[in-house]
Structure 1
Amino acid sequence: MRSSTLILAAFGPLVLAAPTPSFITNLLAAESGITTAITTTLKSAVTDAQTLAAALAKLGVNPSTDASKHGSVWSQDNLVVAAVKLSLKRFAHSIPWSKQDSAKYIDWKTYKANGVNLGAWLEQEKNYDYAWWNKYSPTTFDEWNFCKELGPKCGPVLEARYASFITTADIDKMAKQNINTLRIPTTYAAWVKVPGSELYSGNQQNYLRQIALYAIKRYNMHVIIGLHSLPGGVNFLPIGEAFGHNAWFFNSTNLDYSFKAIDSIISFIQTSGVPQGFTIAPINEASDNFAGFATADGLTANGTNWVNTYINGVLSRIARTNKKIPLMLQDSFLGERFWSPFYAAGTNMVIDSHIYFFAASGIYAQYVSPAICGQAQYTAGDAKFPVFIGEWSLQTLYNNTLAGRKTIYDTQVYAYSKYTSGSAFWNYNMLNNTDAVDGDGITSDYWSWSLLVDQGVVTPMVNSSYC
């Protein structure tokens, strides 16, 4: 990827912690000065703990205050991988991918996901289709300002995008490669209209229903509905609401709207006719400390308490309607062990961890496969809750090769199925991204699952795993 010397000098540690290539876009936004006038969706009058507790009581939730009892912190940036000898030997595997019984709810402790993310469809990210984005709003960096600049034109533009970016033909293509799980990120605007928000609320649910029900009924796929953003902003990033937004934390008004979004998702699932086909992922990559994003310092103790307050509220809402629907908790790059002490054994929960090697310090493509095997085993945590690798890709920091992609792909698919509950590649589509990588090819060659299928990297069987 290309980024300026100024950015690398000013944000070097953050670049190493970057979870997706869109992080570079975020840094470009910072360089251009758009963060000098940060706005938030809503502001709450709550300014002290006592008043906040009273506001939460009105929402029917109790504030969590026990952040200190967290378990050990896992961070992909802090792992120590023992030296290994490179081997030319590869192993063929026949993985019995789970086929969901159309009448039963899945158990994430036994389920094995072979999944793909449908990102940049119902939530927009600039670097997944520069040509499309720049056609309408070339100077903006996030969906919030994209729609703000387009005004009334934003709705028709996004509606056309929803109808064309993912279709049933794409689901057919995935099914041919034994994909059994879809992780589908959405914005909160798909579920609730929040006063002051620039995010578009339209027919997202109709498009989601068409694709999800087709995947479930025709191929028995399992669908994870994710809230990538929450009102006010959950991590300062465009995917959290807008660049620079973090007013979701410690804001009872925004929490209330978050619960309204959850209620809408639950209703969507319950009225689908196949509630057993879904898992709810209510939060993604939460961080109230931007300087530590994607590291062990990304969540403060207060931030941890706020996330737990929200998750407990979501669990209560699910239980009131259908306790068989699983909740997927994205771990904020802290790992299953960190969250394990907060929740009782038997809670219908799966932990979602994201693993990327494109920003991991010192990672070369020819050395990454043994690291994958070791890290996958460690990521499983203390086994109290199942772990799902919700995002991963093929790009490494150095020496990427087109010829080496299949081994890296197959190794991750196999390792994550062997040691955890499987995984979902990020992302199905990356269009028109010609950004350079270190080594061979361009960014799309390492991040576009659809392209990887066309190029023969993805095949129905895992036949060149390092593990």
Structure 2
Amino acid sequence: MSTTTTTHKLRGVNLGSWLLLEKWMVPSVFEGLQATDETTWCAELGSAAGERLRRHWNSFITREDFAWIAERGLNAVRIAVGHWIFGPDYPYHPKYGDNPYPFVTGGIDVLDRAMDWAAEFGLRVMLDLHAAPGCQNGFDNGGIKDVCEWHTKAEYLDHSLDVLERLAERYRAHRALYAIEVLNEPRWDVPTDYLKGYYRAAYERIRKHCPPERVAVVFHDGFRSYREFLGFLQPPVWQNVIFDYHRYQCFDRRDIDSDIYQHIHKASGEWRDEADSINAALGLPAICGEWSLGLDLKVVSLWAEGPYNHALEHMDDFQQDVASRGYAAAQILAFEKLLGWFFWSYKTETTPAWCLRASVERGWLPSRFG
């Protein structure tokens, strides 16, 4: 699998906040609640959660969306799931309250349907364990905001591995399955040795069911330099392994204070050089599994502390359109150096800069990707 060929290059989009809720992306689903993530959402709603969440599952992403994605020449989707995807067998966390199994069941049926839609339209699927028990990063996208305990209990790690194996077993023969990502965005302070041990164990669990010629195993950089993974999971012992990193320019203070010229320069310069370095040194194909056009911190994280200055705030509509197109092009050119990329995300309720479909319709992103 060469990082230089274009015939097998992944050009994809994440289906975020569908099977794993993120409040900033779908505030209407959280309306009237104190909840900040799917765990506290389910705990707060109790018996009322099921009907409400199933309504979201059936309407937020549909078969028509898969058709639209394929029609634009995109060839892959990355689907985030929580560790509760198979229903009640997960370890308890105090955030669950009195109900040891608060999560709504039936998500696996939605995932089955998504896999079939992907196959129908010729899309590759990267399944992504986005939320692990105990939460691996303290973000809302990890299932429990402000809690990062995944690496503190063996039962949390064991359950994560069990879920990965069950996903591998269930979809082993499905023609849409391209890859399984073993954990999304484990936080920088999860010990690297612990993370590597989990990644090795996850590879073995997946390979019990999915041979390397059919399914890739993907691991995230854990917000640390790719250099910490030099020599890790290398062929010929480890086969069809992909390295994933995510790049945004709206969280770090230096980025927030940058003007649009600096944003574009960083994408086309630093990120280009980074991709070249990874390709030259890592010995594994790499993807940028998440990126966006978002520069406004306030929209992304509804509880983030300001100031909320950003590069586009004093521009008129024409200037914002030109800036968004330039920023998009600079990023795509950098990430095209890799095996591929996945935009975050296909759809939001809140901002077109994080919504691939809206960005295409506004002309910020290309109308065709292949």
Q: Which residue of 2 aligns with 1:211?
A: 114
Alpha-carbon deviation of 1:246?
2.2
Q: Which residue of 1 aligns with 2:196?
A: 308
* Distance in 1 separating the partners of 2:287 and 2:110: 26
Q: Which residue of 2 aligns with 1:127?
A: 24
Q: Which residue of 2 aligns with 1:194?
A: 90
* Distance in 1 separating the partners of 2:3 and 2:157: 27
Alpha-carbon deviation of 1:309?
1.4
Indicate which of 294, 299, 313 corresponds to 1:395: 294
* Distance in 1 separating the partners of 2:24 and 2:286: 28
Alpha-carbon deviation of 1:341?
2.5
Q: Percent identity?
A: 22
Checking the alignment, whether the CA contact within 8 Å between 1:336 and 1:387 is kept in structure 2 is no
SS at match of 2:186: coil
Alpha-carbon deviation of 1:195?
4.0
Letter in 2 for 1:305: D
Alpha-carbon deviation of 1:462?
7.0
Checking the alignment, whether the CA contact within 8 Å between 2:74 and 2:369 is kept in structure 1 is no
Alpha-carbon deviation of 1:107?
6.8
* Distance in 2 separating the partners of 1:335 and 1:353: 9
Letter in 2 for 1:429: K
Letter in 2 for 1:200: F
Checking the alignment, whether the CA contact within 8 Å between 1:357 and 1:395 is kept in structure 2 is yes
Q: Which residue of 2 aligns with 1:453?
A: 360
Checking the alignment, whether the CA contact within 8 Å between 1:234 and 1:246 is kept in structure 2 is yes
Distance 1:379 1:108, change over 3 A: closer
Alpha-carbon deviation of 1:319?
2.2
Checking the alignment, whether the CA contact within 8 Å between 1:113 and 1:422 is kept in structure 2 is yes
Q: Which residue of 2 aligns with 1:268?
A: 170
Q: How does 1:42-441 map to 2 (within 5 A)?
A: 110=5, 111-134=8-31, 137-191=32-86, 193-196=89-92, 198=96, 200-218=103-121, 220-272=122-174, 274=175, 277-287=177-187, 298-299=188-189, 303-324=191-212, 325-346=215-236, 347=238, 348-360=240-252, 361=254, 362-374=257-269, 375-380=271-276, 381=278, 382-396=281-295, 398-400=310-312, 401-417=320-336, 419-431=337-349, 433=350
Q: Which has the higher contact order (CA 8 A, sep 6+)?
A: 1
Map Cα deviations across residues 146-165 of structure 1 (whole Å, 9 max, x no partner). Answer: 11010011122111111111
- Structure index of larger Rg: 1
* Distance in 1 separating the partners of 2:3 and 2:193: 25
* Distance in 1 separating the partners of 2:20 and 2:149: 19
Map Cα deviations across residues 192-237 of structure 1 (whole Å, 9 max, x no partner). Answer: 531435452422122122122222232x211110011111111122
* Distance in 1 separating the partners of 2:141 and 2:266: 28
Q: 4+ residue stretches of structure 1 with deviation over 4 A?
A: 106-110
Letter in 1 for 2:180: I
* Distance in 2 separating the partners of 1:157 and 1:318: 33
TM-score by length of 2: 0.83
Alpha-carbon deviation of 1:318?
2.0
> Gaps spanning 5+ residues in structure 2: where?
97-101, 297-309, 313-319
> Gaps spanning 5+ residues in structure 1: where?
1-105, 288-297, 434-443
* Distance in 1 separating the partners of 2:29 and 2:143: 20
Output the aligned Cα RMSD: 2.2
Distance 1:453 1:344, change over 3 A: closer
Checking the alignment, whether the CA contact within 8 Å between 2:321 and 2:364 is kept in structure 1 is no
